[in-house]
Chains A and B, each alone.
Chain A
Amino acid sequence: MSEIKLENVSYVYSEDTPYEKRALTDVTATIKSGAITGIIGHTGSGKSTLVQMLNGLTRPMSGRVLLDGKDIWEDPKKISDVRFRVGLVMQYPEYQLFDETIRADIAFGPKNMGLDKEEIERRVLEAADFAGVDREWLDKSPFDLSGGQKRRAAIAGIIAMRPEILVLDEPAAGLDPAGRKNIMEGLCAYRDKTGSSVVIVSHSMEDMAQYCDDIIVISDGRVIAQGKKEEVFSQSDLLRSVGLDIPQITLVMRLLADNGINVNTGVYTVEDAVNEIYKLI
């Protein structure tokens, strides 16, 4: 499907004022086609700024954003085409619902794409399934749903555009464990069914380790590591130095190995760890 490349992208907020803030410095990164890519970094490291580059919501001050090798800012008038191809769910999207019913709200994107009625209806139902939106909620007003339910509806609103690259800024923040799992699995299902790439920003190393293929680590607006999750999580000292950590279960395995027990340390889920430990017995 599609691949995004960032080439030496920089961004500064409030340039030329006393409040100037460098948010991104010379970022070069690749989002591989068909992969689930995780972006991690501590608070204020520039993750949200970075993902807003991917669909052209913010324009880099220098550097280029390439979608399938083509600069997305080559023709700024056509930027909305890019936004349909790269769907972005912003941080805390539940505050952005506006229509009378959830159904109409999810249909907002497809409608802007100029699709016909049946196609829109089909996509709304499909997106609702991926995002875990109950069919019963569809005809309710957004104000009658809980925060977590609204979050799902907002995610469905982007999935309904069937983007080739689905980008989510902290989709599971503030949800209970079951809700997190449900959303993450929905995203995996979306990737598996459509072959689209998925980009997830998250603070949960556990989720990242479990669901992602690739990881990009940013700190202070710079990419300090990227690649397969195994490579990135093997650099625990680097991660610690920027205020992050490796998943707890990996840490447990690492400690076991350090104490002379022969286990595989490249383990990211509790089930895998259990299996590893069974092997010892």
Chain B
Amino acid sequence: MKNIALGQYYPTGSVIHRADPRMKLILAVLFIVCTFLCKNIYSFGAILLASVLLVLVSRIPLKTVLRSIRALLFIMIFTLVINVFMTKGEVLLFEWKFIHIYREGIVNACFMLVRIFALIIGTSILLTYTTTPIALTDAIESLLSPLKKIKLPIHEFAMMMTIALRFIPTLMEETEKIMAAQKARGADFTNGSLIKRAKALIPILIPLFVSAFRRADELSVAMECRCYHGGEGRTSMRVLKYRASDFLLFLAFAALCAGLIALNLLKTPFAL
């Protein structure tokens, strides 16, 4: 339950945790671009190295990181199989009936694996593990704020996100409690036909909706009482500020980008 409260936020106090969420958002985009820049074995090697480095710097336990990779294992295996069997190339390694495996297929498959791996690591280390959802919302609001000029309700959108994020764990907790209470009266949510199980949900949904509306009502009254009136001229308790270390991080990523482009120029038979 707490997991959902904080997303997968895993506090270790590392440099990445302390970085400005806006910078992390930008860096995550940059890192994604980097993974798509890679063209040959050198650049793929470099991005792999960079991913591992990210994990080490963030000090998130390997076990936790691997857990998020396991969730995408199926996609990885699927990509591997497709690439190995479907790529046509020049160097035939193996042939049996209609199956042809080329060296290029194997190379491509490995590259794709590295790319997916780097994508997961990059986004999860830079965003989900080291940034709370609330900080991320603040960052999005700040980055999108120029769009307020063309009358897009950015602040309202961010406020809605923040409130939703704030109340998801509360609702989860409530659901759990209500389920427990109905279980204590012999409700059965796991056995029986589909219709029976759907019916068993009514005793949960009704109190849940009632309390959600009650909460919404209370919250709006509380906001009125504190004279909330939208984004115009509002300041924030958490003021986002870029620091020197943020720019250093940015430089590191820019260097990675440039390095990858340079590595792409090296000649090797192992290339896309």
- Judging by beta carbons under 8 Å apart, are B207 and A112 in contact? no
Partner of B186, one of A19, A80, A98, A99: A80
Q: Which of B11, B185, B203 contacts A158 (CB 8 A)?
A: B185
Residues of B within 8 A of A57 (CB): 180, 183-184
Q: Which residue among B183, B185, B202, B203 has the maximum number of chain A CB atoms within 10 Å of its CB?
A: B185
Residues of B within 8 Å of A55, CB to CB, are 184
In the complex, the chain B residue whose C-beta lies closest to that of A21 is B2
A17-B2, A18-B11, A98-B206 as given contacts; A90 in contact with B180, CB under 8 Å: yes
- Interface residues on chain A, size class: 20 to 34
B2 touches A96 (CB 8 A): no
Which of A80, A88, A158 meets B188, CB within 8 Å? Answer: A80
**Highest count of chain B CB atoms <10 Å: which of A84, A95, A99, A161:** A95
In the A-B complex, list the 3 residue pairs whose CB atoms are closest, starting with the nearest: A112-B186, A109-B185, A98-B206
B49 contacts chain A at the CB level, 8 A cutoff: no
Q: Contact mask A205-217 → B, CB, 8 Å, 1/0?
A: 0000000000000
Tell me the bound Cα distance from A14 to B5 in angstroms.
12
B148 within 8 A of A: no
Asked whether A97 is an interface residue with its Cβ less than 8 Å from the other chain, the reply is yes
- B203 to chain A: which residues have CB within 8 Å? 98-99, 108
Q: Using a CB-CB cutoff of 8 Å, which residues 201-255 of chain A contact chain B? A: none
**A96–B183 touching, CB < 8 Å:** no
State in angstroms the CA–CA spacing of A143 and B3 once bound together: 33
CA A97 to CA B182, docked complex, whole Å: 9
Residue in A96, A113, A161 whose CB lies within 8 Å of B207: A96
B177 at the interface (CB under 8 A from A): yes
A157 / chain B contacts, CB cutoff of 8 Å: 185
Q: Does B164 contact A (CB under 8 A)?
A: no
Q: Mark A38-73, 1 if CB is under 8 A from B, else 0.
A: 000000000000001001010000000000000000
- Whether B68 sits at the interface, judged by CB under 8 Å, is no
With a cutoff of 8 Å between Cβ atoms, the chain B residues found around residue A112 in the complex are: 185-188
- Knowing that A87-B184, A112-B188 are A-B contacts, what are 12 other residue pairs whose CB atoms are under 8 Å apart, sorted by A's residue number? A17-B2, A57-B180, A80-B186, A83-B184, A88-B184, A95-B174, A95-B178, A98-B202, A98-B203, A98-B206, A108-B185, A109-B185
Q: Give the size range of B's interface with the partner.
A: 20 to 34
A93 near B: Cβ within 8 Å? yes
Is B211 in contact with chain A by the CB < 8 A criterion? yes
Provide the B206-217 mask, 1 if CB < 8 A to any CB of A, else 0.
Answer: 110011000000
Asked whether, in the complex, the Cβ of B178 is within 8 Å of the Cβ of A109, the reply is no
Taking a contact as CB atoms under 8 Å apart, the answer to whether A90 and B181 are in contact is yes
Whether B11 contacts A83 by the Cβ 8 Å rule is no
B44 at the interface (CB under 8 A from A): no
A interface with B by C-beta (< 8 Å): 14, 17-19, 52, 55, 57, 80, 83-84, 87-90, 93, 95-99, 108-109, 112-113, 143, 157-158, 161
Interface flags for B1-22 (1: CB within 8 Å of A; 0: not) read: 1110000001100000000000
Flag if A161 contacts B185 (CB, 8 Å).
yes
Closest residue of chain A to B180 (Cβ to Cβ) is A57
> Smallest distance from the beta carbon of A50 to chain B beta carbons, Å?
14
Closest Cβ neighbor of A157 among chain B residues: B185
A84 to B185, CA, bound (A): 7
- Residue of chain B at shortest CB distance from A98: B206
Residues of A near B1 (CB, < 8 A) are: 14
Report the minimal beta-carbon distance from A21 to chain B, rounded to whole angstroms: 9
Contact A158 B206 (CB under 8 A): no
Interface members, chain B 136-157 (any A CB < 8 Å): none
CA distance A88 to B11 in the complex (A): 37
Name the distance in Å between A148's Cβ and chain B's nearest Cβ: 17
Contacts of B188 in A (CB 8 A): 80, 112
Q: Are B183 and A14 closer than 8 Å at their CB atoms?
A: no
**Which B190-234 residues have C-beta < 8 A from chain A?**
202-204, 206-207, 210-211
Report the separation of the CA atoms of residues A87 and B186 in the bound assembly, to the nearest whole angstrom: 10
Residues of chain B contacted by A88 (CB below 8 angstroms): 184
A-B contact pairs, 12 of them (CB 8 A): A80-B186, A80-B188, A83-B183, A90-B181, A95-B211, A96-B182, A99-B203, A108-B182, A108-B185, A108-B187, A112-B185, A113-B186
Residues of chain A within 8 A (CB-CB) of B178 are 95-96
Contacts of B186 on A, CB cut-off 8 Å? 80, 83-84, 109, 112-113, 161
Distance in angstroms between the alpha carbons of A90 and B206 in the assembled complex: 18
Find chain A residues with CB under 8 A from B210 CB.
95, 143
B207 → chain A, closest Cβ, in Å? 5
Q: Which residues on the A side are within 8 Å of B207 (C-beta)?
A: 95-98
